[in-house]
A and B are shown apart, each in its own frame.
Chain A
Amino acid sequence: QKEVEQNSGPLSVPEGAIASLNCTYSDRVSQSFFWYRQYSGKSPELIMSIYSNGDKEDGRFTAQLNKASQYVSLLIRDSQPSDSATYLCAVTNAGNNRKLIWGLGTSLAVNP
């Protein structure tokens, strides 16, 4: 059973701090990795995609991928109260790259 695991949280950080969200996956041949943000009652919004080992930065967001250790993380710098949401990690593998395998999400609370 291919799995994606995330800490459910809630992860609580003060405003302006760095929030670090982690995700591990079980399938070694996973190839595509995505982070989605979902506000309560809304649909998932794509934040980052990453395909190669290393870091990928986009504004205040940095995704980090380590295929050898089978983890992907999302760092949010200068966290804002508006970043308070559930963050979903999703992974695909070479067997079927139209099908996302989802983690259960980490709830992030940024406190003013």
Chain B
Amino acid sequence: DTEVTQTPKHLVMGMTNKKSLKCEQHMGHRAMYWYKQKAKKPPELMFVYSYEKLSINESVPSRFSPECPNSSLLNLHLHALQPEDSALYLCASSLSPARDRAHEQYFGPGTRLTVT
């Protein structure tokens, strides 16, 4: 089973709202990722958690706040977003990377976010 689940599927929020995106996997993966994808562009890495610790932050604005409560769950807290933050937000997971190779990343279905 290579399933990563994400909720909600769609989210519309105003610029003053606070909302959260959720991601879950039960594959025993120890690395989890948040990506942002705009139309006709490849996914853009935002954050990486490895063994529940934040290991990569790609200089993401502080209005995006990640959280990894345990090895199966990943949240992305959203606050005071801008219309240009509207995008497909993707969660992915993988086995924790080995020294000599990267393991496959499996993506969830994504949350389509619209900021009004």
Residues of A within 8 A of B (CB): 31-32, 34, 36, 42-46, 49, 51, 88, 90, 92, 94, 96-100, 102-105
Contact = CB atoms under 8 A, between A and B. Distances in A.
Identify the interface centre among A34, A46, A103: most chain B CB within 10 Å of its CB.
A46
Given A51-B101, A98-B102, 17 more contacts: A31-B100, A42-B109, A43-B107, A45-B107, A46-B2, A46-B107, A49-B104, A90-B42, A92-B102, A96-B56, A97-B97, A97-B102, A98-B31, A98-B56, A98-B97, A100-B102, A105-B42
- Tell me whether chain A's interface is mostly helix, strand or loop, or mixed: strand
Interface of B: 2, 31, 33, 41-43, 45, 48, 50, 55-56, 88, 90, 94, 97-98, 100-102, 104-110
Nearest to A52: B101
Identify the interface centre among A32, A45, A88, A90: most chain B CB within 10 Å of its CB.
A32
A99 B101 contact: no
Contacts of B42: 88, 90, 102-105
18 contacts: A31-B100, A31-B101, A32-B101, A32-B102, A43-B107, A43-B108, A90-B42, A94-B100, A98-B31, A98-B33, A98-B94, A98-B97, A99-B45, A99-B56, A100-B45, A100-B105, A102-B42, A104-B42
A97 B101 contact: yes
A66 to B, nearest CB: 18
A102 B92 CA distance: 15
Contacts of B41: 104
